[in-house]
Amino acid sequence: MSLSEKERFEIEQLVHRECAALDEGRYADWLELFDPEGSYWVPMADGETDPETTPSLIFERVDALPARVGRLMHPAAHGLDASIRTARVLGSLSIKNVGPYIEASARFHLLEEQRPDRQRWFGGCYRYLLVYLESRWRIHQKRVDLLNPFAPFEAIQIIL
Amino acid sequence: MVDLNHKELHGMHVNHGLAGGPESLVRDGEVHRRVYTDPAIFALEQERIFARSWQFLAHDSQLPETGDFLTTTVAGRPVLLVRAKNGDLKAFFNRCPHRGALIMHRATGNSRRLTCSYHGWTFDHHGSLLALPMSEGYANTAVAENPDAYGLQALPAVDSYRGFWFAHLNPDGVSLRGFLGEVACNIDNMIDRAPDGTIAVMAREPYRIMMRNNWKVYLENLHDGAHAVPTHQSSIQPAADVARKPNHAWSRFQAEVIAANAQSPAKMKALRVNCYGRGHSDMMAFRKTRPDNPEYQEYERRLSAAAGSSSLESIVGINRHNAIIYPTLTVQPNYMQLRVVVPLDAESTRLDIWIFRLGGAPDWINQRTLVYGNTIHSPASLVRADDMENGERVQIGLRRGVETDWVSMHREQGCEPGPRGVSHAMSERYIRNQYDAWLHYMGAAA
């Protein structure tokens, strides 16, 4: 299907809203952006096609995500005692049809600050598979292709 | 008696405030903070523990084809493994005999020949020197006269236990089988779960984790039932909520695995821990692994058909949470997970975690292995994050001397005086057992 200017604008807005919800710690708002049948996937290698047969850094269906979000908001999450903050920058957004979905993809840089003396960068590509459901665009899958998915990482507590 | 100011430690900062050697760092139920923080102790551990015990290299399935190679380390030394033409697995120090550069630098790959990137010295899969560029410069030198001496240097001892390869840098007469002793039953249990008797790594890369703590801090957490609720409370409650709802089966499985940390101290105390020789130990599991669903029952049916119904209970009926193959390997046989501990320096440790596909098993059981791996062993695990935080807090807490320099491992010592024997998951006997082995390796045993 070809997208109208209005639809492209809505999709761009959705991608930016998704990043803003994470950077601002509005996790309930973030969950609302998903298709209830959706998933959040961070593959552990380049070019993965199937999270059900290969290991992933994260592969969670939307109905599992309240556990991840719940820990982020839990007062006794020791790893989060010094609050973690993130700032992400998107670029090169492109939108195309992929099967029954619209795919919006963008390069990203993500700066994470965990306590004032510890900063970490992540970078790579966000790929959103989107569906139009009940009068708005929703995320069917958020896929995060890191530049270095197989590197040894310290704990990744944030939502990438 | 070992003097830590001995010349092998010359040039290192040794500020211990204690006169003796390693034996002065372990006393009844306590260990000195320096074993976790002192670079000189770490250097000594490299030579006396990691270079004097069987160290895991790789599983056969990581190198299936002729020419497959992988690079790793043993006791800090770069090592290169290659699958040779006749199927042999060859293990060399990953160092060119010419100027010392790494022969291969990528983690894995396949190569017909092994060529040094620096000057092009080239070796075959058996390590023999095949090509010597600009060879005229070597006329009338030892290299031209005895090229056999300028091949790759093989590791002194390499052996396999049922497809798991290990190396020993200073073979001392203890075979790999003898080194493993009773703890080998955990490797057996993992392999025996495969209906066709074969297991294989699920991916060419492991989960990789960086920890800001000494390697022993990690090992000393592995049978610790007392840490589960205080450390993991942040993930237990949100996961329990997900597990209760009619969510997707794998979402519920992930959540149940996390929420299982809520076991009461009484239940943890009921979990048997066996403390074996050489610092090895294993612990029974606190989650049932034989669910009442058709997918799992199909797996048991296939296993039973292959192994015999009389063997079924002795395989899947044994539900161990994990085993420590001291000093640097740990196995979770019920979920086919193998964790390799890579000590980098006194204050940092890497973990490489491999998961295995069971040959001849339905896809469901292998998918469960994968979901378990993602949930527990990814660096993005909700469980691991708080373990890693507490590991780092131990490290920071012990970094400098304070009033008391001694770290407690007393729990249940009153009931379990010796290092070895039957114990349980609320006891620190397995830690005392590790220090019994530590003293032995460090040359300070009584």
With bands split at pLDDT 50, 70 and 90, how would you rate the model's confidence at B402?
confident
Can you tell me the distance from the alpha carbon of B258 to that of B83, in angstroms, rounded to the nearest whole number?
39
Contacts of A142 in chain B (CB under 8 A): none
B287 and chain A in contact, CB less than 8 A:
no
Region B111-129: what's the mean pLDDT? 96
Predicted pLDDT of residue A117: 84
Can you tell me the distance from the alpha carbon of B61 to that of B206, in angstroms, rounded to the nearest whole number?
13
Using CB atoms, which residue from A54, A61, A153 is nearest to B208? A153
Question: Higher model confidence: residue B310 or residue B13?
Answer: B310
Rg, C-alpha atoms of chain A: 16
Using CB atoms, which residue from B205, B234, B254 is nearest to A74? B234
Reply yes or no on whether the pLDDT at A82 is more than 90. Answer: no
With bands split at pLDDT 50, 70 and 90, how would you rate the model's confidence at B17?
low
Question: Higher model confidence: residue B2 or residue A116?
Answer: A116
Count CB neighbours of B379 within 10 A: 24
CB contact under 8 A, A79 and B209: no
| Helical pair A65-72 and B228-244, crossing angle rounded to 10 deg | 140
Can you tell me the distance from the alpha carbon of B406 to that of B374, in angstroms, rounded to the nearest whole number?
36
Predicted pLDDT of residue B7: 38
Instruction: Name the percent of chain B lying above pLDDT 90.
Output: 91
Region A72-97: what's the mean pLDDT? 92
C-beta pairs of B438-442 under 8 Å, 24+ apart in sequence: B438/B22, B438/B26, B438/B35, B438/B49, B438/B216, B438/B279, B439/B22, B439/B23, B439/B26, B440/B278, B441/B45, B441/B48, B441/B49, B441/B52, B441/B53, B441/B327, B442/B2, B442/B21, B442/B22, B442/B23, B442/B44, B442/B45, B442/B48, B442/B49
Can you tell me the distance from the alpha carbon of B316 to that of B296, in angstroms, rounded to the nearest whole number?
11
CB contact under 8 A, A58 and B378: yes
pLDDT, chain B, mean: 93
Using CB atoms, which residue from B202, B209, B245 is nearest to A55? B202
In order, the DSSP letters of B360-407 are T--HHHHHHHHHHHHHHHSTT-HHHHHHHHHHHHHHHHHSS--S--EE
pLDDT tens for B130-189 read 989 999 999 999 999 999 999 999 999 999 999 999 999 999 989 999 999 999 999 999
Helix, strand and coil percent figures for chain B, each rounded to 5: 40, 25, 40
3-class secondary-structure state, position B350? strand
Distance from CA of A25 to the nearest CA of B (A): 17
Question: Higher model confidence: residue B428 or residue B16?
Answer: B428
Contacts of A157 in chain B (CB under 8 A): 380, 385
Reply yes or no on whether the pLDDT at B301 is more than 70. Answer: yes
Reply yes or no on whether the pLDDT at B346 is more than 70. Answer: yes
Instruction: Name the percent of chain A lying above pLDDT 70.
Output: 99
Residue of B nearest to A151 (CA): B208
Backbone phi, then psi, for B296, in 5-degree steps?
-70, -40
With bands split at pLDDT 50, 70 and 90, how would you rate the model's confidence at B18?
low
Using CB atoms, which residue from A69, A80, A155 is nearest to B384? A155
**Count of CA atoms in the C-beta half-sphere (13 A) of B411:** 18
pLDDT tens for B63-113 read 999 999 999 999 999 999 999 999 999 999 999 999 999 999 999 999 999
- Model's pTM, two decimal places? 0.94
With bands split at pLDDT 50, 70 and 90, how would you rate the model's confidence at B433?
very high
Reply yes or no on whether the pLDDT at B191 is more than 70. Answer: yes
Reply yes or no on whether the pLDDT at B1 is more than 50. Answer: no
Predicted pLDDT of residue B19: 61
Predicted pLDDT of residue B6: 41
Q: Which of residues 386-405 of B touch A (CB under 8 A)?
A: 386, 388-390, 393
Residues 6+ apart with CB under 8 A from B314: none
CB contact under 8 A, B373 and A64: no
Reply yes or no on whether the pLDDT at A121 is more than 60. Answer: yes
Region B283-306: what's the mean pLDDT? 95
Region A126-153: what's the mean pLDDT? 97
Can you tell me the distance from the alpha carbon of A137 to that of B319, in angstroms, rounded to the nearest whole number?
46
* ipTM > 0.90, yes or no: yes
